[in-house]
Amino acid sequence: LKVDLNSDLGESFGHYSIGNDAEIINLVTSVNIACGFHAGDPDVMAQTVKKAETAGIGIGAHPGYSDLQGFGRRRMNMSLIEVQHMITYQVGALEAFTKTKKLHHVKPHGALYNAAAQDHELALAVCRGIQAVDSELPLYGLANSELINAAKEVGIPYVQEVFGDRNYEADGTLVSRARPNAVITDPTTIAQRVVKMIEDQTVTAVSGQKVALKPDSVCVHGDNQAALAIVKTLRTALKEDGIKTETW
């Protein structure tokens, strides 16, 4: 058994620093690097790619809405073709900073990720934007979501992503952050949930029902010390259960 741990990186911008890139980079097997639209700038991108290359982990593009003020977390009503081209642009820009000129994956960011997980047409636009750059470049998308369906339809590889720190609905979607029980914060609980997801290929929804899912990659965070503690607890638990952390 094995699993990929992915995290967002390179979210600083100009004079503004954010995140604990130096710490989290050693705890994950792949990273999603901001591409200058919702966060990141060409200097941050160059430095972050270099760090990830040194760490020998999977380098993914993390394209988002062109909204630095909102950090890509505010949905924008763009046309499908605008979304497609916006993805191609950002993926190409990040790829240019790599030594190999080959990215490991693409994971849409924030409001774009959430919207495309539920909107098939939008998810298709995201996938077509990736495909235009490299038809063998995998999408990271919410397990069972429209992102995965769209990747299948468009014909690009995909990696199903799960969240150890989020509760699930019976239909496999995440419980909305507007609800009090959306987020799980206890490191041990999170670690146990992830191990169980990997071993059973299911997750227990808030309703008590079991939801089948394929946990190819787990999304983890490095925003603060609590987040880093969660990742360390998770890595220990995975190791104890003989689950390798390895990317695709």
Q: Is 121 in the site for a copy of itself (CB under 8 A)?
A: no
Q: Is 69 in the site for a copy of itself (CB under 8 A)?
A: yes
In whole angstroms, the minimum distance from the beta carbon of 31 to a copy of itself comes to: 18
Residue 115, sorted as left (phi over 0), alpha (psi -120 to 50) or beta, turns out to be alpha
Please identify, using beta-carbon distances, which residue of 96 and 229 lies nearer to a copy of itself.
96
Pairing of strands 30-34, 2-9: parallel
From 6, 30, 32, 71, residue interacting with a copy of itself (rule: CB under 8 A): 71
Please identify, using beta-carbon distances, which residue of 14 and 242 lies nearer to a copy of itself.
14
Residue 60 near residue 107, CB atoms below 8 Å: yes
In whole angstroms, the minimum distance from the beta carbon of 203 to a copy of itself comes to: 28
DSSP string, 157-197: -EEEEE-TTB-B-TTSPBPPTTSTTSB---HHHHHHHHHHH
Task: Name the nearest CA neighbour of 136 among 161, 158, 108.
Answer: 158
Give the x-and-dash track for 134-163 against a copy of itself (CB under 8 A): x-----------------------------
In whole angstroms, the minimum distance from the beta carbon of 18 to a copy of itself comes to: 6
Give Cα 33 distance to the centre of its chain.
10
The H-or-E segment that residue 222 falls in is: none
Q: Where on the chain is the footprint of a copy of itself (CB under 8 A)?
A: 13-16, 18, 36, 39, 41-43, 45-46, 66-71, 73-78, 81-82, 85-86, 88-97, 101, 111, 132-134
